[in-house]
Chain A
Amino acid sequence: MKMNSQEWKKLDIDVRPGIKLRGKWHGKTYLIQRKLGAGAIGVVYLCVCNGKQAALKISDKRSSMTVEVNVLKSLAKVQGNRLGPSLLDVDDWVSPQGICYSFYVMEYLHGEPLISYVQRRGQAWVGVFMLQLLDALQELHQNGWVFGDLKADNLLVVSSPPKVRWVDVGGTTQIGRSIKEYTEFYDRGYWGLGTRKAEASYDLFAFTMVFLHVYYPNQFAKESSPQKQLFRKIDSVKELAPYRMVLKKALVGNYHTSKQMKNDLLKIIYTTERKNMRAHQQHGQQTNSSSLFIDIGGISALAIIYYAVSLLFQ
């Protein structure tokens, strides 16, 4: 649910670029630089504290903010957390008008949205990000959490080496509970393909929708038989051809862990590559008809290399 326009205005009047916020409890001062984005609960600003840039989320929906902070704190305990931004400060701020806001300060992730990154840098990255994301999800699930509101908007690619990170953990839910926050397009309940219980398979459904969204930037509306429709959508994307079976299995909830899905994905990438090498040896020269395989093979090779590199830098 979006904030209504009046709530926006109130926040916009109180928090403007150039103003300084001083925390009520911990006393740190933050200089607001510019607005980074807005979500269902609050607004995120770029700010500076002690010469360092950070992201500051502020809202007068104080209990919702507290819930988010709890999630961030739990995630921080997850070993080797490479998932979300780290939490730097949690405090309250009383505006000159006397309105009490809650805010928290996170590491500022400077990155590019997943969809535009893939469009700009090319297909090879799809496999890389799939593997990276599945690793991250696996780690999250093993620690008893489900991401919930997994969507392209929540995924950023940070550079050197390129790595997918997620922002906005507002939907992160303990396994076995009901999903806290979701977006219809990515929600299996909306598509009639499962419950809204927090399970690994809930995230894997959304995962598949993320990669559909990459190739359908304007998304699409639900039709009368959603499963057939989604399968058709997968089939019509040439770039997703190698991953079809895996993505479809994820859509109908056949994977119970990210690991199973990742193993299938690795197998596909590996065999496509071998097929491709054999095709090379047998024919010597490539024909037009095999060019699709060559494409896919080349992509997989790149995917494996990039993925390996990204593992090194963790």
Chain B
Amino acid sequence: MMVLKSWEVVGLKKGTLKQILLITDGCSNKGEDPVAVASIAQQQGITVNVIGILDDGHAEQDESLQEVEDIALSGGGVSQLVYKQSLSQTVQSVTKQAMTQTMQGFVNKELEQILGKGQSMEDLEPEKRGEIMEVVEDMGETCDLEVLVLVDTSASMYDKLPTVKEALMDLSISLNARIGRNRFAIYRFPGKRKQMDRILEWSPALDSISSIFPKLTSGGVTPTGPAIREAMYQFGKKSLRRGFKYEDEQPGMEEA
């Protein structure tokens, strides 16, 4: 298939998807606008996904959580509002959905070159779309993935932190069932002195976070924007580069 070939040329098979997963329960109230920062992240090839945790009795239409959707939209990612009871399922499905979405974005770019401006796989007849979707799925299963989890630990998150921990361990179970490799890092915000503090350095699984995951919150302010900016910088770090060793160096996904 024509499309598939051009994918291989681009080297996507060896590419690494980069995601920030922001877990919060409210609106930012300090520092730069997170919606703007998310858009910068996306330009750097980092997708920003957001999960907004609703308090019981909270309506889905609540305005303070509009920001959740806006951040994900400008970050090229997926957002979902959820009650804490279904956090586990949501965290993994949002992550996977965002992976598919990113892959599709690449495919659509390729298709535009072949079919002409404004054409996407949605414009193809169902049979052809099926073939392309198989490729997209394949990529999602085999690509390497880096997820930086950014947990809001402002005061109102106190009773939600145990559930967040469970959900992250569950995410690791889901993603580590894939063929591709994974790297996770966890940060909390606000930090004690900085915008955010590290909980877990880049590592291949999250099953060991039980003892290190914070049980306490870290203050009242929610500097979401600055935290996303800091998170963005963590992807360029050397420790990470060393982490993935490819047999032969291939261009990363962000260069596609």
Contact = CB atoms under 8 A, between A and B. Distances in A.
Interface of A: 1, 4-5, 25, 62-63, 66-67, 69-70, 73, 90-92, 100, 102, 176-179, 184, 189-190, 195-198
A25 B128 CA distance: 12
Interface stretch (B11-19, B35-43, B170-178, B212-220): B170-178
A197 B177 contact: yes
21 contacts: A1-B80, A1-B93, A4-B81, A5-B60, A25-B126, A62-B122, A66-B130, A100-B122, A102-B126, A176-B179, A177-B141, A177-B177, A177-B178, A177-B179, A184-B88, A189-B177, A190-B170, A195-B173, A195-B176, A196-B177, A198-B177
A61 to B, nearest CB: 9
Contacts of A62: 122, 129
B125 interface: yes
A161 B60 CA distance: 47
Nearest to A103: B126
Interface of B: 60, 80-81, 86, 88-90, 93-94, 100, 104, 121-122, 125-127, 129-130, 133-134, 136-137, 141, 170, 173-179
A198 B174 CA distance: 11
Residue of A63, A67, A196 contacting most chain B CB atoms (<10 Å): A63
Given A70-B130, A196-B174, A178 B125 contact: no
B133 A178 contact: no
Contact of B130 (A73, A184, A198): A73
Contacts of A70: 130, 133-134, 137
B174 A178 contact: yes
Contacts of B141: 177-178
Closest 8 A/B residue pairs (Cβ): A178-B177, A196-B177, A66-B133, A90-B126, A197-B177, A1-B93, A189-B173, A178-B178
Contacts of B127: 90
Nearest to B121: A63
B173 A63 contact: no
Given A25-B125, A190-B170, A195 B130 contact: no
A147 to B, nearest CB: 15
Nearest to A69: B130
A177 B121 CA distance: 24
Contacts of A178: 141, 174-175, 177-179
B137 to A, nearest CB: 6
A178 B181 CA distance: 12
Contact of B177 (A66, A90, A179): A179
B84 to A, nearest CB: 14
Given A66-B130, A73-B130, A195-B177, 9 more contacts: A1-B93, A25-B125, A63-B121, A90-B127, A91-B126, A102-B126, A177-B177, A190-B170, A197-B177
B46 to A, nearest CB: 22
A1 B90 contact: yes
Residue of A66, A91, A102 contacting most chain B CB atoms (<10 Å): A66
Contacts of B104: 63
A92 B80 contact: no
Contacts of A90: 126-127, 130
A190 B104 CA distance: 29
Nearest to B136: A63
A66 B129 contact: yes
Contacts of B134: 70
A189 B177 CA distance: 10
Contacts of B100: 63
Contacts of B81: 4
Contacts of A198: 177
Contact of B126 (A66, A189, A197): A66
A305 B112 CA distance: 60
Nearest to A6: B60
A30 to B, nearest CB: 15
Contacts of A179: 174, 177
B170 to A, nearest CB: 7
Contacts of B60: 4-5
A224 to B, nearest CB: 13
Nearest to B137: A67
B33 to A, nearest CB: 25
Nearest to A89: B126
A177 B138 CA distance: 9
B126 A69 contact: yes
A156 B179 CA distance: 33
A4 B60 CA distance: 9
Contacts of A196: 173-174, 177
Contacts of A100: 122
Contacts of A102: 126
